[in-house]
A and B are shown apart, each in its own frame.
Chain A
Amino acid sequence: MKLVTYSVEGRQRVGFLLDEQVCDLGKAASALGFDLSPGGDLASVATNEYRGLLNEIDEAARESMQDEWCTPLDEVQLHAPYRPRQNILIAGGNTPDEFTSQRMRNGRPMLRYHTKAPSAVADPGEAISWPRQLSTEVHAEPHVAVVIGATTSYVEPSNVMANVFGFTVATNVVAQDLKRKHGQWDKAVSLDTFMPWGPVLVTADEVDLSELSCRLWLNDRMAISGGAESGLLKTAEILSELSFGMVLHPGDVVLTGTAESVGHGEVPERWLQDRDVVQSGIEGVVQITNPVSTY
């Protein structure tokens, strides 16, 4: 199922995509005779507990789509999936060229796990925006965003993917100069609008990450491209490591790393500027576009 948060006529709803239509999840469920009313935001239904039910609704809706609960995609406004209930985890330095900068433990690199405040979440199309006097070295990275679907504590890599609800793309916007200034990275990635993500949250059963590329285009030129599982640690290894000692709950979000570290593939590095357009995508699954506007 492809879940979205969208609005028509100013009202925000939870929906799912069928071809070029957006279906209202609550209305579709009740029309098709299912017991599901998305009370709050998308996060309230994006749990593995509901996954079977969601798939049944998806199938039933395909067979009997009705105008009362569907709207053409081009008539709605899509939003970020939801605001996570705690900071978004980021697997920092999960790229082969960062290998020598990592410490090792039990034969594995110790990634630079850091976090992004949920207040940074931005909708598709919303401007990525920051004060020029605060940072002059902002860049953007495409990440796979993993949405946790079940309480996850001390789970081995071989089992942990069963606890994933789904995947989408996130643009991890980073102020490199603030990273250096503060030493710890959390503030440098947490400015308002520094987390465009979504809009389509695809359930895990529809995605095989090992087959996919994660890419970033800067003004229609491909700037970063790499396999979604080409990092030093695979998604399953990251989630498992985090779950050892840090419980993950449904709705928690983990960004698993980017293909290249900085500079948008250019030497010297090319920083974001006013009127740039940034697009991140997971090939064939989801993409998000945001303009840049400093103030």
Chain B
Amino acid sequence: MATVKEAEETSLAFTFGSSVVSIHAAAAALGRSFESAVPTTLLQVIEAGPELWADLEAFYDSLRDCEFPDDARGAWWWDWDGVSFEPPIIPRKNPWVVGANYYQHLANGFARIPRPAIAPPHVEYFTKAVNSIVGHDADIVYDKRVTRTVDFELELAVVIGKHGKDVPVADAYDWVFGYTVANDISARELQLGHQQYHRGKSLDGFCPLGPVIATTRETGDPNRLRMRQWVNGELKQDWPVGDMIYKIDKLIQVLSEGMTIEPGEIIICGTVPGVGFEQLPQSWLQHGDVLEAEISRIGLLRNTIKMAGVG
């Protein structure tokens, strides 16, 4: 599912290959009604709970094998390139991000600032500001007065489906609504200089999400997915999602200890080898760089880096 904008109007949408279907417009055109009204944001859909999800899933299935009529193009469905993608969801608290959660990333990243390449003793959670969330195809504009060390980090983002506290690890996957792609854009000198990572991770535009949220039914076991990131067409990150030190169920369990997790809450699971910080010499993103971050069965999130005041 996605949140798209066409002719200044925001719609909740299904995506099928290269077609995008407005849920509200398609339901109206096809005379499909729902047990309860479909809200206008994906956050509200998630908050509405599993009965609505099942109803929407049935509608999705009924459209899956349809030939969309040409005369309805632009009315209730569009080509992928004919719409712009908003962030699929704006959560009610900051997305959580897990630091150093893949062994090889640890080894690469910290070889330069001597620290043993072993698993961190506990999960490291920081957050990215809600204000920093942008969607597919958004420009990420940095200001060189603030940072000159912008880096990319492809990560799997887990979208929580229901309230929970002290969630048992054995049941933790029951709390997942779906998954999306995140690029944990980082201003390295701020991340490390402030010691707490929040500011270096939360500059405007530094949390691209999307383009879609794939429900658990669509992704299957997320640990079997593959993640890849290209910068200007060159493959920089290519790794199995499932190689996490702390797996998704553990991340949910530990996060929910003493703290209520909520529908729409996002947990971003850590990045894999290949980021600019690990290179010798270190390399940073520049004006005009195009990032393409992809996770199989979810989608490809594309963003362009811009420097303020250029072009």
Inter-subunit contact A245/B147 (CB<8 Å):
yes
Q: Does B174 contact A (CB under 8 A)?
A: no
Chain B CB count within 10 A is highest, among A103, A187, A190, A244, for: A187
Q: Nearest residue in B to A134 (C-beta to C-beta)?
A: B258
Inter-chain CA distance A103–B120, complex, in Å, is 23
Contact among B124, B130, B194, B258 for A183, CB-based, below 8 A: B124
Inter-chain CA distance A187–B260, complex, in Å, is 11
Contact among B146, B196, B199, B259 for A117, CB-based, below 8 A: B259
A119 contact set on B, CB distance < 8 A: 93, 259-260, 262
Contact among A113, A120, A183, A252 for B259, CB-based, below 8 A: A120
- A130-187 CB contacts (< 8 Å) to partner B: 130-131, 134-135, 153-154, 181-187
A252 contact set on B, CB distance < 8 A: 131
Inter-subunit contact A184/B99 (CB<8 Å):
yes
Contact among A86, A92, A130 for B129, CB-based, below 8 A: A86
CB distance from A223 to the nearest CB of B (A): 23
Q: Does B193 contact A (CB under 8 A)?
A: yes
Q: Does A118 contact B (CB under 8 A)?
A: yes
Q: Nearest residue in A to B187 (C-beta to C-beta)?
A: A245
Inter-chain CA distance A168–B124, complex, in Å, is 31
A185 contact set on B, CB distance < 8 A: 196
Q: Nearest residue in A to B258 (C-beta to C-beta)?
A: A191
Inter-subunit contact B204/A247 (CB<8 Å):
yes
Inter-chain CA distance A154–B94, complex, in Å, is 22
Q: Does B304 contact A (CB under 8 A)?
A: no
Inter-subunit contact B198/A114 (CB<8 Å):
yes
Inter-chain CA distance A192–B96, complex, in Å, is 16
Inter-subunit contact A183/B122 (CB<8 Å):
yes
Inter-chain CA distance A246–B128, complex, in Å, is 11
B96 contact set on A, CB distance < 8 A: 186-187
Number of A-B contacts (CB under 8 A): 120
Q: Does A48 contact B (CB under 8 A)?
A: no
B142 contact set on A, CB distance < 8 A: 245
Chain B CB count within 10 A is highest, among A92, A184, A246, for: A184
Inter-subunit contact A131/B257 (CB<8 Å):
yes
A89 contact set on B, CB distance < 8 A: 198
B187 contact set on A, CB distance < 8 A: 245
Q: Does A112 contact B (CB under 8 A)?
A: yes
**Per-position binary interface string of chain A over residues 181-220, scored 1 when its CB falls under 8 Å from any chain B CB and 0 otherwise:** 1111111001110000000000000000000000000000
Chain B CB count within 10 A is highest, among A85, A86, A115, A245, for: A245
Inter-subunit contact A249/B194 (CB<8 Å):
no
Inter-chain CA distance A186–B199, complex, in Å, is 12
Interface size on A, residues (CB 8 A): 43
B290 contact set on A, CB distance < 8 A: none
Inter-chain CA distance A131–B196, complex, in Å, is 25
Inter-subunit contact A184/B125 (CB<8 Å):
yes
A85 contact set on B, CB distance < 8 A: 92, 130
Inter-chain CA distance A154–B142, complex, in Å, is 12
Inter-chain CA distance A192–B256, complex, in Å, is 10
Q: Does A11 contact B (CB under 8 A)?
A: no
Q: Does A242 contact B (CB under 8 A)?
A: yes
Inter-subunit contact B259/A242 (CB<8 Å):
no
Inter-chain CA distance A40–B36, complex, in Å, is 23
Inter-chain CA distance A247–B198, complex, in Å, is 14
CB distance from B146 to the nearest CB of A (A): 4
Q: Does B143 contact A (CB under 8 A)?
A: yes
Inter-subunit contact A112/B260 (CB<8 Å):
no
Inter-subunit contact B257/A184 (CB<8 Å):
no
Q: Does B20 contact A (CB under 8 A)?
A: no
A191 with B92, Cβ < 8 A, contacts A245-B203, A245-B204, A247-B131 known: no
B94 contact set on A, CB distance < 8 A: 86-87, 115, 117, 186
Q: Nearest residue in B to A181 (C-beta to C-beta)?
A: B122
Inter-subunit contact B125/A186 (CB<8 Å):
yes
Q: Does B217 contact A (CB under 8 A)?
A: no
Apart from A131-B258, A242-B199, A245-B146, 12 more pairs, CB < 8 Å: A83-B92, A112-B196, A114-B127, A134-B257, A154-B143, A182-B123, A186-B198, A187-B255, A192-B165, A245-B143, A246-B202, A252-B131
Give A residues with C-beta under 8 Å from B: 83, 85-87, 89, 92, 102-103, 105, 110-115, 117-120, 130-131, 134-135, 153-154, 181-187, 190-192, 242, 244-249, 252
Can you list 30 pairs linking A and B with CB atoms under 8 Å apart? A83-B92, A86-B129, A86-B131, A87-B129, A103-B194, A111-B194, A112-B196, A113-B194, A114-B196, A114-B198, A115-B127, A115-B198, A117-B259, A119-B260, A119-B262, A131-B166, A134-B258, A182-B123, A183-B120, A185-B196, A187-B96, A192-B165, A242-B199, A244-B146, A245-B142, A245-B143, A245-B147, A246-B129, A246-B199, A247-B204
